[in-house]
């Protein structure tokens, strides 16, 4: 998979933040966006590319890493569940 440039990541981050400003979710809920889906899918694709085996799903350590990355990306608390 080709690496994304900084401009694509900036656009995705802007979509995540911009999409939630005017339509805020109730406290404790997260509005899932297409940018977030793309971000998570890219992270899991990268893991597969690194050779992480997925015969029985991803290990908790990998799920937690993707959740932490998404949390940093969205600047909101995100868990693996």
pLDDT score, position 10: 44
Whole-number Å distance between alpha carbons of 67 and 40: 8
Structural domain contains residue 28: no
In a domain, 26, yes or no: no
- Domain membership of residue 2 (yes or no) is yes
Verdict on whether the full-model pTM lies above 0.75 = no
Range of weakest confidence among 16-20, 43-47, 55-59, 66-70 = 16-20
Mean per-residue pLDDT of the chain: 74
Rounded to an integer, what distance in angstroms lies between the CA atom of residue 19 and that of residue 80? Answer: 22
Q: Which domain holds residue 2?
A: 1-19+33-81
């Amino acid at each position: 998979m080709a690496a994304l440039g900084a401009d694509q990541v900036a656009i995705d981050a802007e979509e995540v933040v911009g999409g939630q400003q005017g339509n805020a979710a109730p406290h404790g809920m997260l509005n899932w966006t297409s940018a977030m889906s793309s971000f998570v899918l890219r992270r899991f694709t990268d893991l597969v590319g690194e050779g992480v085996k997925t015969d029985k799903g991803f290990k908790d350590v990998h799920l937690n890493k993707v959740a932490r990355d998404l949390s940093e990306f969205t600047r909101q608390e995100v868990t693996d569940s």
